Amino acid sequence: MCISLRLAGDEGCFHLVSVYGPTMQRPETEKDEFWDELQTVWQALPTREPAWILGDFNSRIGINTAAAPSPAAEGVHGPYGLGQLNANGERFLHFCSEAHLKVLNTFFQHSADELTSWVHRRWGTQGMIDYAVGRATDWCFVLDTHSLPRAEVNSDHRLMVLKLRAAPGRYVRAAPTAPSDTRLPRLCVAKLQGEDVCTQYVKEVERLRQCAAPGFPSLSHDLYQAGVSILGTAQRRTSDWREGHDATLRAAAARRQRALENLRLSPGSQACLQELRDARHASRRVVRDLKARWWSSRLQRLEAAARRNDAATAYSDAKEMGRLLRSQGVSVEPLAASPDADLTAKAAHFQAVLNVQRPVSPHIWDEIPDLSSDAADISWDPPTVHELRRTIMQLSNGKAPDASGVHAELLKVFVQTMDPAGDAVVAEFHDLVQRLWRGEQLDLTTWHSSLLFSIWKGRGLVTDLDGHRGIVLLDVLNKVVCKMLASRLSELAEKHCAESETGYRRGRGCADALFLMRRLFQEWSCSRPTRAHGSSSLYVLFIDLTRAFDAVPRAFLWTLLQRKLGVPAHVVDLLKAIYTGMMTRVCGQRGQLSPAFQMSTGVRQGSIEGPVLFLLYFAVVMKVWRRRCGDALGPNHGVPWQSVVDGTLRLPAQLRRCATREHSFRDSVFADDTAIFATNWNDFCQMSELFHRTLRDMGGLLNASKTEWLELHSFVGVPDVAPLPGTKILKIAGQHISKTAQFKYLGAVLGIDRTCGVDADVRRRVSLAHAAFSKLRHLWRAREISLKTKSRMLLSCVAAVLLYSSEAWTLQYPHHRLLHTTWMMFVRRAQRLKYSDMQTLRLDNDALLTRLGVPSVFTLLARRTAQWLGHVARLPPQRPAHASLFGTIPGRAFPSASEVGAHCHHYTGRAKMVMQTLALDNWSESRLLAATLHVLTERECTLMVVLLCKWCPHCNKVYRHKGYFTMHCRECRAFHAPAPAAAGQSAHGQDALQAQQQNGGRADRARKPLVALSTAELTLAFVSQQDQLDQLQQQCAAVFRFASDNVFALRLLAAVDQWKTDHRPGRPHPLGACATAVALAMLFGISDAGIPPACNEEAAKALQTLAAELLAGEAAAVAREFSHCSARLTAKKEHIILDCRPTLYGRIFPFYNVLCQLLESFDAERLGRKPAGSLLRKARQQQ
């Protein structure tokens, strides 16, 4: 219900929307309908008139933003609240985040009684489930909101009060004054796409260089001056619908003003009043038409860019359109009272940050090993002209110009043109680089001038300058030289960095470090030590450094490069010349510049060589720390690991008889994000203290306030989150290090819960995906954008956020359901459909996916997992990612699945399931994996999710809970039970009647022949064919009864007795368990008896193939496949019962129909499916 209140002021109407949300017990479909309807109502309200949503949302959003695990609470949730976040609360926060709303209850400080909006009648539990929600732009109207705890109402809810200001005060800002010192205007480099313009520009530069002195400053000056004269300065794009329509808007405003003046002269005239109304309506109509035409042109431009596969233009336009929409009505709090004060505060902050002096221990040089021999293989010669040209072409287009106003596109013109004048400029630039490389002193004034831009990191308050990162815009000519230097230093870094260091290295990334951490956490939490005194806890320290890049001691770095790493002196002198005398100026929002200040420490953030220099510095830090740990703790500290040599995916229990390779994991490093782990508490404390000392001796500083550690217990351990009395407390240099249960490492959440942080990480990715989807809401609402373009934007901008680091997830059914629900909601909203429209148009999920042209989330997960597995399998064996995939922790045992609290899902099992579903036998060596993944069907990916749950073979329903599944099976078994055989009816007639009942009573449908399928065909497209699905439903389990004097049954009993005689207690059978012996005896018995005449030609051929494998000596291989089959033989008085239940991908399954037919030919009576009771009860019922 929506109420509109017309006020006397200029604010227009106050819109109040009253809601009542569904409770937690309501189905998900009803919740989707509620939020879709609320979103539709809210979008219909005018954006320029104040509006609020009031009511009972039946949602809990927690205490504050820091406690809420959902990133959607940022900017939505205030610092106050009650209770904890639940599933409805996450939906509520996602809605507020997409609509840019604020939960007003949480922004006003009150007592717990005044925050409480609902009290449980029986238990007296207090909660906050009634909220007042409003736009950020309407914040000036809100005075207060709270509940009245003393109000007498006959309800478990309390009366909520929202106080509003009728007419907020108007603040008049002073007109901005033009700054005295600003950056140079940008050049219109878009004109360089024409060949004539490029030729004119090259000629102009040649003319200017004839009368200019050689040097880098004069070259940069001439490049910019030629651009100003030929290209001109780029006009700032207003990107506004008013552009070009000033006359039309002025005419509409003049008409409205004349009508208003006429009404003032004749206050009671109805004609003048009607004239004013018509003028206002005409003015609004003109504005609407202009806006519609402008947005239509922008959307058509985006659509055209998407059709010609111009991704850069499409994504830049989408980003610009999203920025325009977000800028309308969203107020940003300034850092200071005026722009000049804001600029002064930023300059003072960064001047202190970029000039941090830290001491370096003089004794550290004795512990750093001499690594100069590795630099001899690297070419440190000056670059050639060909290398210079190649480096210039590698510069990125569309970047901001430097302090001299030079763009990268200006340099590329001289390489791309065929004019000899361009070669002359390149030759001059190469000559200057050669002289500088040889050590000559040249004027580098323009290289030492830079612009610094402050970028908010997205964490904390915007007004806190510690949450801002300074990015420096360097000289373009300097970038070319530094890029050639970085290529040589990267070769040196590859030789000195350990395998655990994955930052700024080719072929490595965040996924490698996250995969190692996930596998380490899962293997430890799912197992227990086998020895009595084995370690039961894994300790992990997540280290944060204070000003890691900005405080690197340069003098120590130059000496380290030349003295220990073997970098030639002329290269070190070149680096010194580039860094010595560096000056920068902070650039404001309007282009104003602060006074210049010096940058005396650290590597330059935003430069090309900066990350490589930090990588070399930190690699030496880690090398010294590892040597100190080895001297103090010995070689056995860290986490031991063993991986198989043959590169085969095996479960941990199957690694005991395989040849393995030993590893030891002690740390994981990505740039300055470092994690160290140990299995012994004393070793962990010493390793942490040694890291702090090593970092301090080499000029670094550990941030104790942001450094955290966690303790991951084994399967038998009890989690200990808070430092209770008597628990372990970690101190580094006398400072207390906080203990945590979850930590966000490289954008992913790691934790000590049952899922090792996967549950929190999935929910966090869902929240971030909602935020990414809301930023492009103008695209989803646009009718001019085709569904093909929307699908491309959805996969690239939303799916990439949703499934980040999903390669290392071990998902359970609730996670699959959450991801599937979220993805289908995105697919539905991208097509401008509500949940009710699906029922009206009779659209299911498959139809929605087909209509938009995107795969399901199950397919996306399978593709990413398969691609990651193929990538890791092709890595060298010494890589941590490869070892963690094909290995486990030695000396630990995994509990059985029947044990209480045991983990029923393992990453290796999930990976094998994906590979078997894709039928990739040689997936580790296949280079055509990407082409194979594109033909992956939806049913195959859905099968992987179905196998995780309880699946009823009678009605094809899936149940997550075991109790519900058992109750359903009792009812479903009674409904699908075969009718008792009539007098004189044979067993074959009873089977025919049973098949008729399973076919829905259609007697005209002939029974399909039992045909054996190959394993490749079965695993490739099993569920894509309905006949194979019917076979799985009909023959998932079978029970056969033999007479007590049956020759074949007696042969099986003899095989079991022989197995019991040869079996020794405590020693495993070489071919498996008793079930394997029964299966082998059955096959050998069939092969000895011969092929019965009842089998058709294909069945006989399949049986001969299986018998040939047995006779050829492949009994052990076949037995391992049969060991997955649950076969049991029991002698009960007058009959013998044989129960066979195959697995989906076992070798017996393709021949299962043939075996059943053969058993019937050996005078065995088939009793149908196995019931929930025992076999004896089943047999007695059939007598």
DSSP per position, 820-850: HHHHHHHHHHHTT--HHHHHHHT--HHHHHH
Mean pLDDT lowest for which of 913-917, 946-950, 1018-1022? Answer: 1018-1022
- What 3-state class would DSSP assign to 608? coil
Question: Sign (positive/negative) of CA torsion 1032, 1037, 1043, 1046?
Answer: positive
For the chain, how long is the longest CA-to-CA vector? 119
The whole-angstrom separation of Cα 818 and Cα 93 is 16
Residue 39: partners with Cβ closer than 8 Å, 6 or more residues away: 95, 98, 99
Query: What are the pLDDT digits (tens) for 682-705?
Result: 999 999 999 999 999 999 999 999
Q: Is pLDDT of 928 > 50? A: no
pLDDT classification of 170: cutoffs 50, 70, 90: very low
Q: Is pLDDT of 135 > 90? A: no
Overall size of the chain counted in residues: 1183
Mean pLDDT lowest for which of 42-46, 425-429, 631-635, 1162-1166? Answer: 1162-1166
Mean pLDDT lowest for which of 158-162, 901-905, 936-940, 1036-1040? Answer: 936-940
- Bridging pattern class, strands 583-586 and 449-456: parallel
Q: Is pLDDT of 1011 > 50? A: no
pLDDT classification of 1020: cutoffs 50, 70, 90: very low
Averaged over 969-974, what is the pLDDT?
A: 55
pLDDT number for residue 812: 87
C-alpha to C-alpha distances, 365 to 32, 360, 434, 623, nearest whole angstrom: 65, 10, 33, 13
The whole-angstrom separation of Cα 228 and Cα 985 is 100
Nearest to 1168 by CA among 985, 991, 974, 981: 991
The whole-angstrom separation of Cα 1069 and Cα 1047 is 26
CB burial readout 283-297, b (16+ within 10 A) else e: beebbeebeeebbee
Mean pLDDT lowest for which of 55-59, 73-77, 647-651? Answer: 73-77
- Two tokens, residue 767: 């929240």
Bridge partner list, 558 = none
pLDDT number for residue 311: 64
Contact 1052, 1081 (CB under 8 A): yes
Q: Is pLDDT of 75 > 80? A: no
pLDDT number for residue 7: 59
Q: Is pLDDT of 240 > 50? A: yes
Question: Sign (positive/negative) of CA torsion 770, 774, 776, 780?
Answer: positive
- 146 backbone dihedrals φ, ψ, rounded to 5°: -165, 175
Q: Is pLDDT of 35 > 70? A: yes
Helix, strand, coil percentages, rounded to 5, for the chain? 50, 15, 40
Start-to-end C-alpha separation, the chain:
67
The whole-angstrom separation of Cα 108 and Cα 327 is 26
The whole-angstrom separation of Cα 619 and Cα 538 is 25
Contact 504, 612 (CB under 8 A): yes
Q: Where are any strands of DSSP class E within 1036-1177?
A: 1038-1043, 1128-1132, 1135-1140, 1165-1166
Question: What is the rounded average pLDDT for all residues in the chain?
Answer: 76
Averaged over 400-424, what is the pLDDT?
A: 89
- 931 backbone dihedrals φ, ψ, rounded to 5°: -70, -35
pLDDT number for residue 938: 39
pLDDT number for residue 194: 83
pLDDT classification of 406: cutoffs 50, 70, 90: very high
In terms of C-beta density within 10 A (0-12 exposed, 13-18 middle, 19 or more buried), how is residue 729 classed? exposed
The whole-angstrom separation of Cα 561 and Cα 937 is 54
Contact 678, 709 (CB under 8 A): no
Mean pLDDT lowest for which of 369-373, 448-452, 749-753, 1071-1075? Answer: 1071-1075
Distance of CA 605 to the CA centre of its chain: 26
The whole-angstrom separation of Cα 1082 and Cα 14 is 82
Q: Is pLDDT of 466 > 90? A: no
* % of the chain residues with pLDDT over 90: 27
pLDDT number for residue 1176: 37
pLDDT number for residue 939: 38
- Two tokens, residue 540: 């992990």
Domains of the chain, by residue range, sit at 2-164, 183-236+386-398+407-437, 238-331, 365-382+438-749, 759-874+906-940, 979-1008, 1014-1182
pLDDT number for residue 952: 57
pLDDT number for residue 1181: 43
More confident residue, 535 or 359: 359
Q: Is pLDDT of 623 > 90? A: yes
Query: What are the pLDDT digits (tens) for 699-745?
Result: 999 999 999 999 998 886 444 444 444 568 899 988 999 999 999 99
pLDDT number for residue 399: 85
- What 3-state class would DSSP assign to 742? strand
C-alpha to C-alpha distances, 1035 to 1056, 1167, 1174, nearest whole angstrom: 25, 12, 19
C-alpha to C-alpha distances, 667 to 190, 549, 676, nearest whole angstrom: 48, 20, 4
Query: What are the pLDDT digits (tens) for 877-893?
Result: 889 999 999 889 988 88
Q: Is pLDDT of 80 > 70? A: yes
CB burial readout 363-381, b (16+ within 10 A) else e: ebeebbeebeeebeebeee
DSSP per position, 324-341: HHHHTT-----SSSSHHH
Query: What are the pLDDT digits (tens) for 1155-1172?
Result: 677 777 777 777 654 433
More confident residue, 1009 or 359: 359
The helix-helix angle for 857-873 and 938-946 (nearest 10°) equals 90
SS3 annotation, 699-721: CCCECCCCCEEEEEECCCCCCCC
Averaged over 834-841, what is the pLDDT?
A: 80
pLDDT number for residue 1152: 62
Please name the fold of domain 2-164. Deoxyribonuclease I; Chain A (3.60.10)
Residue 422: partners with Cβ closer than 8 Å, 6 or more residues away: 202, 413, 414, 415, 416
- 613 backbone dihedrals φ, ψ, rounded to 5°: -65, -40
The whole-angstrom separation of Cα 808 and Cα 753 is 16
Residue 932: partners with Cβ closer than 8 Å, 6 or more residues away: 918, 920, 926
Q: Is pLDDT of 393 > 80? A: yes
Averaged over 393-413, what is the pLDDT?
A: 89
Nearest to 474 by CA among 609, 656, 362: 609
Residue 537: partners with Cβ closer than 8 Å, 6 or more residues away: 679, 681, 711, 712, 713, 714, 717
pLDDT number for residue 244: 72
pLDDT number for residue 497: 92
pLDDT number for residue 432: 93
Averaged over 799-827, what is the pLDDT?
A: 91
- Bridging pattern class, strands 958-959 and 1128-1132: unpaired
Question: Sign (positive/negative) of CA torsion 933, 939, 942, 948?
Answer: negative
In terms of C-beta density within 10 A (0-12 exposed, 13-18 middle, 19 or more buried), how is residue 216 classed? buried
